[in-house]
Chain A
Amino acid sequence: MVGTKKRKQLADDAPPAHIAPTSTNGTATMDLPSDDEDDAAIPDDEDAPVEEFPELDDRSDDDEEDPESDDIEHATDSNEENELDEEEYQTTDSEGDDSIHPFPRAKTIVSDITGVPKRVYPEIEPDYDSDSSTEDAPNRVGNVPMHWYDDLPHVGYSIDGKKVLRPARGDELDRFLSTVEDPSAWTSAFDKTAQTDRPLTAEELDIIRRLHANEVTDANYDPYEPTVEWFTGKGKEEIMPLSAAPEPKRRWVPSKWEKKKVMKIVRLIRAGKIIPHKPKASSHLPQFHNIWSSTSDSSAIALIPAPKPPLPTNAESYNPPEEYLPTQAEREAWEALDPEDREKDYLPQKYSSLRLVPAYEQFIKQRFNRQLDIYLAPRIQRKKLNIDPETLIPKLPSPNSLRPFPLYRSLRTTYGKGKARCMSVSPDGGWVVCGYEDGVVRLWETGVGREVKRWSFGGEKVEAVEWCPRGDVSFFVVGVGQNIHFIVPPFLPPSTFTLTKTLLAPPTLPPAPAVPSPVKWVSKYKDSTSTVTSESTAPTGYDVSKPILTLELPPGSSAARQISWHRKGDYFASVSNQPGGSNQGALWIHQLSRRHSQAPFKTMKGSVQLVLFHPTKPHFFVATQRYIRIYNLAEQKLLKTLMPGIRWISSMDVHPLGDHLIVGGYDKKLCWFDLELSDKPYKILRYHTRAIRSLHFHPTYPLFASSSDDGSIQIFHARVYNDLMTDPLIVPLKILRGHDVTEGLGVLGVRWVRGLPWLVSAGADGTVAVWCN
């Protein structure tokens, strides 16, 4: 700043005139050497920047030229100072650039020919400073793999960017000849960049020789130069000590600390606590004392002590009673077993005297096994259940106290041609109607088993037969193929027959429903009262061998598999197998009085297996393969879904009181549901060895029966209590056997006779039996 101040003063002092830049610079040379240098260098070399540079100065001078007040002056002063600073920076920058700049500066000259200024670069003079190598190797590709040029005619480019052509190389013979002819051939090496052989220089050869001789490659290096003594030797000794610190006391006084240490050991040796060479043998033996003299702290963890090994039994004696000795077969079986699987780890043996007893070979092994048990086996404290297994069996009332229930088969009717698939007992219990696989439906008396009437439906399987539960009329429905036939049995009292006839074939049909149903009600009954009074046994000339009314299910749907009546006898539901497992049109509810059929559900989840009307409430049970859904038909909503846990439900029945439901499955299980309690079974029983086929609650007695493919019928006592606290009592009463199993099918249907503890069962062997008490 001193320099600049001076310069400012000088500027102030100088007359306000246009000063040539050179002159100003010349005045400033003494103070501003940097400027000087810069300026000195530039005018030497170039003219153009010199011309430009003063222009800046001129402006600054112009600013300085109008001094109006001191303040302004000061301000301009400071301005100038700033400017100067800037200038300084610029100059230093340019200077730095100049020194670093690798490229030659271009000159702008006016071309002689064109008269247009052009830039001319100075000639390049290669020297050590330049980045190009000193060698004038023509090929300037650099250190690149030369095989890049293998397929090309040239081997690289010269400094001017011209291709360096591959020198001609002779064949092997030429090479050999050259080695023979050229005396310097053995001192030449292949130059990759030039792709030629080049003779090595004398220096290079010398380096090779030195490398070969394991010498230092530099010829000028002398490894055995004489040492130069800088600080030692005659006249060069240090006389004065480097440190003026006095010699510490510890250098010449014995250590007190060491003495303490030693004395400690000495004292211990004197006291006999350290024995320099004590005998080792005695110290190994543990010194026993009364360790149980003091009570112990209970810090130790509680461990279960190892159980004691079982005590030996008579069989282990050296002289056991003879019956303990194993037979040859037992001995072989024992030896064949793996030692770990053997029940006993020894074979009983008998020796006539103690002197003959040999050493027990397994002694050490067994002791070792015991130790393995002690430290490798987990220990568990188990409560040993010391009870009589019979006490585990539940105590139930004796079946004898729960009479009456069916005990024996009183009669059996056989119809040899097909399996009895379905069967129904009339509401008064006097008649049994059963349907066979070959399309025959037989009606017979329950008491005597005499067949009264037989209907045949053209060889199609009779899938369902069901009596109407009404007491004042008497007829039953038969599901065959796509039809459901209404049949009136013969030998009816005239009043009943009239009532039945007016019900099934009324003189005036009820008005057709607004929405026509796809199910057709076809009345086959022609008013025959006047015309036909023929051979038929019917009291009023009606042909009983024909169905009085037929329901035709929509085409495409298969046979009605199950028919279930509402207790009042006006409605009944039918379930039919639908092709492809769809539920469309599988389930119909038919109303007899209005002659109308409707499908209660538009869509149903799962394939419907069974349906059932609740005996007292307007509820409707629908069993799919796995679940049972309970719907309220009046409110038209789903009430509950029961989950029995059965894979495929085969049968279901509801208790006459309506609070309990039993469900049987093809997987042998029977589930008892308490509908008030839960949607899970109250009890699951598994007692049949094959699939359950049919279940039925007795309408009046506390009984239910189940039949199965194992050919047995099981009778249970099932008492249901009115109070909610008491669980239902289920007592197995009797297993009835008598049906044969044919083609894997046993008893296909069971039905109780109303008012009597009698059971009717239909078997796959074609027999229908009545079981009495």
Chain B
Amino acid sequence: MGRLRQKGKAGAAKAYVTRSAAVKKLQCSLADFRRLCILKGIYPREPRSRKKANKGSSAPTSFYYAKDIAYIAHEPVLKKLREHKAFAKKLSRALGRGEWTSAKALEENKPVYQLDHIIKERYPTFIDAVRDIDDALSMVFLFASLPSNARVSPSLVENCARLAAEWQLYIMHTKSLRKTFLSIKGVYYQAEVLDQVVTWLVPYQFTQSIPSDVDVRVMLTFLELYQTLLGFVLYKLYSNTGLVYPPPLDTRKDEGAAGVGAFQLQEASQMRPETSESGSKTVEVDGRKISSKSVRQAIKNIANADSTTAEIPADASVSGEQEDADEDFVPRPSKADNQVAQLPTLKSISILPTSLSTSLFSPYTFFISRETSRPIFEFLVRSFGGRIGWPASSGGGSPFEETDDSITHVIIDRPVVEKPNETPEERERRLRRKYVQPQWVVDCVNAGKILLEDLYAQGQTLPPHLSPFGEHEGAYDPVASAGDAMEVDDDSADESVEDAEETSPMAVPAVKAVNGDEAALRAAEIAAEAAGVDYATFNKELTRAKKRAGKEKAAADGEDRGEVDMNKMMMSNKQKKLYERMKHSQAKKATEKSKLEERKGQIGKEKKKRSREVDS
């Protein structure tokens, strides 16, 4: 007979502890336990069987790994927290007794914990830290914009603002901003730092108040950690780029609300040799650091160069009306800019070498009108190499005045107002400059090229602003489906006519092409050309053939469907459930898509009707 096994001595019962047991074990308050969990990054675990882990009880509790708890049991921060508890008692006693001097002495020697070792533990390599910086940035940017109150001290807000400005300075300096999105929540920025994609959200510049159902203590604990993390990350980033950290702050400029401009980036006079570049392999070439990824990217670009040129004719076939809608796809040589004319498709843009799009605004000089948010556009324009100025009402430190002749674009967010008493030079200046709405800048950044300013001119109804981050695969694409929806409508209208028509002779190879591969399609195209059919008719024929093939296929599918449904009987219960779940989610996505498409068609029709009414 084997040894008797006692219950609760092995397995899940031992591996997991409940939260209350953990608190008891650590001999600290629940608030301190939470603080520790936040700082150390300990999170609850989900045991495979809650009942086994909780010694037979199925009460709703959260479980932690016993090892995790043992791990934080000898944490210096925990010691400091205990010391702080003792300190708080001593202080309150001193205050109660009116012993002011001893209270002061106590206050001066208040125990303060350091988080350096925690940062090092949680992020063993620098890359780990950069990878996990998203939440830290969002929080720091949020608190930088909060008003200070009893809970949120002014020094905290100031520190957050400083960290936010330092991060922005770094991004601007290294030109690593990639994408921007103006959402209803705030502005999303995406940058590529050390090959890691970092996304953060900055609220619009309004006074926010912390709602009552938010536990400020938790947020402040997170913020404590994030401030330290960002400090170390920024130190490393700055020193890697050869800058002095922290960048010196010009207090006079800062008082003049210069924002980011109040800091001055200083080149470290003597580059301290970094002992080891952990994580990313970089090589110095001509004083520039080249990471392995950029090399890989460059190789990819060369490989893609041919394919992009090959794709051009395929896209050139879309109708003129469509061209306006999907601005991103169509090369449109702009008057102001000809360097980006060779960028044909969105796909090729997304894999472009960074050097091309990062200096997007370098030929231009911008001026922000006073109703436009300065921090957003200063950051955007400067990240892409442009110069920017602003009126004194948006803060001090503008490099140039409004009357400066070098200004090419004015970012303005006002309706057009007639100016009756305009001096000739003002008028001349106005005509020379381009007045664009703020969305133009963001769309240019996301497109990676300078877009036509006319669509975004002052007072114009703006084209929709789309997310540069894309949607999930197979989701509704507002740009692509613009043409399709219209086509479907047209086709359904003249379906009967077409059916009555005799199939033209070259439809036959076209149909074959539909069913066959690309090569067959090419062959059919050539055949049609030889027969003297113009491309438009061929295309029409092709779509019709496609549709017919689709219908036939659908009919065959219907027959198959029955068989497949019968085969479903032979599935196991587990598989059946999984199948149903997957089908459910697919159907949900499909209905979402179809709903949007339908609504789009409806809106298009209404618009047409309205324009017709206006015409007549």
Contact = CB atoms under 8 A, between A and B. Distances in A.
* Pair from one complex: yes
Interface of A: 280, 283-286, 288-296, 298-301, 303, 305-306, 308-309, 311-314, 316-324, 346, 348-349, 351-355, 357-360, 362-368, 370-372, 374-380, 385, 389-390, 392-396, 398-399, 685-687, 730-733, 735
- Chain A to chain B: the 8 pairs with minimum beta-carbon distance, closest first: A359-B206, A311-B469, A389-B582, A378-B46, A732-B566, A355-B413, A323-B599, A288-B235
Given A313-B469, A378-B44, A301 B67 contact: yes
B245 A288 contact: yes
A319 B442 CA distance: 12
B578 A354 contact: no
A319 B462 contact: yes
A374 B135 contact: yes
Contacts of B227: 286
B569 A321 contact: no
Contacts of A366: 185
A362 B579 CA distance: 37
Contact of B579 (A322, A392, A398): A392
Given A293-B274, A300-B122, A396-B567, A323 B186 contact: no
Given A288-B245, A323-B603, A394-B567, A363 B208 contact: yes
A290 B236 contact: yes
A318 B278 contact: no
Interface in B141-190: 142, 159, 181-186, 188
Main secondary structure of the interface of A (DSSP, over half): loop
Contacts of B85: none
B478 A367 contact: no
Contact of A301 (B71, B185, B245): B71
Contacts of A317: 181-184, 464-467
B306 interface: no
A731 B586 CA distance: 28
A293 B231 contact: no
A685 B570 CA distance: 7
A308 B566 contact: no
Nearest to B246: A288
Interface string B178-218: 00011111101000000000010001101110110111001
A704 to B, nearest CB: 14
Contacts of A284: 112
Contact of B42 (A280, A303, A305, A365): A303
A563 B445 CA distance: 85
A300 B121 contact: yes
B478 A321 contact: yes
Interface centre among B134, B215, B563, B578, by most chain A C-beta atoms within 10 angstroms, is B563
Contacts of B71: 301
A370 B564 contact: no
B222 A323 contact: no
B466 A314 contact: yes
Given A291-B120, A359-B204, A379-B43, 19 more contacts: A291-B119, A296-B125, A313-B469, A313-B475, A316-B184, A319-B462, A321-B478, A322-B600, A324-B478, A355-B414, A359-B207, A360-B203, A362-B185, A365-B211, A371-B139, A378-B62, A392-B575, A395-B567, A735-B566
A357 B204 contact: yes
21 contacts: A283-B112, A292-B123, A294-B275, A303-B41, A311-B199, A316-B181, A318-B465, A319-B182, A319-B439, A322-B600, A324-B596, A354-B372, A355-B372, A364-B219, A368-B214, A371-B135, A371-B218, A374-B222, A375-B218, A393-B564, A398-B563
B15 interface: no
B478 A314 contact: yes
Interface centre among A288, A317, A349, A396 (most CB of B within 10 A): A288
B124 interface: yes
Contacts of A359: 203-204, 206-208
Given A303-B42, A323-B596, A296 B124 contact: yes
B475, B564, B566 interface centre (most CB from chain A within 10 Å): B566
Contacts of A285: 159
Interface in B113-142: 114-116, 119-126, 128-129, 131-132, 134-135, 138-139, 142
B236 A292 contact: yes
Contacts of B206: 358-359
A375 B43 contact: yes
Contacts of B437: 353-354
Given A306-B132, A308-B134, A346 B185 contact: yes
B186 A322 contact: no
Interface in B575-596: 575, 578-579, 582-583, 586, 596
B461 interface: yes
Interface string B541-569: 00000000000000000000001101111
Contacts of A365: 211, 213-214
Interface in B236-258: 236, 239, 245-246
Given A367-B138, A368-B215, A376 B62 contact: yes
B389 interface: no
Given A317-B182, A364-B142, A732-B569, A290 B564 contact: no
B135 A380 contact: no
Nearest to B72: A301
B583 A389 contact: yes
B393 interface: no
B43 A394 contact: no
B121 A314 contact: no
Contact of B413 (A316, A320, A353): A353
Nearest to B39: A375
A733 B121 CA distance: 63
Given A314-B478, A732-B569, A399 B235 contact: no
B10 to A, nearest CB: 21
A396 to B, nearest CB: 5
Given A296-B120, A324-B596, A365-B214, A380 B46 contact: yes
A292 B120 CA distance: 7
A323 B600 contact: yes
B352 to A, nearest CB: 20
A444 B597 CA distance: 61
A416 to B, nearest CB: 33
Contacts of B208: 359, 363-364
A273 to B, nearest CB: 15
A316 B183 contact: yes
Contacts of A321: 464, 466, 478, 600
B462 A291 contact: no
B228 interface: yes
A308 B199 contact: yes
A322 B461 CA distance: 13
A354 B184 contact: no
A319 B239 contact: no
Given A364-B211, A685-B569, A312 B181 contact: yes
Given A301-B68, A360-B184, A312 B469 contact: yes
Given A354-B439, A355-B372, A371-B222, A286 B231 contact: yes
A687 B570 CA distance: 9
A393 B132 contact: no
B34 interface: yes
B38 A288 contact: no
Contact of B43 (A288, A298, A303, A368): A303
A389 B590 CA distance: 15
A363 B201 CA distance: 10
Contacts of B600: 321-323
Contacts of B211: 364-365
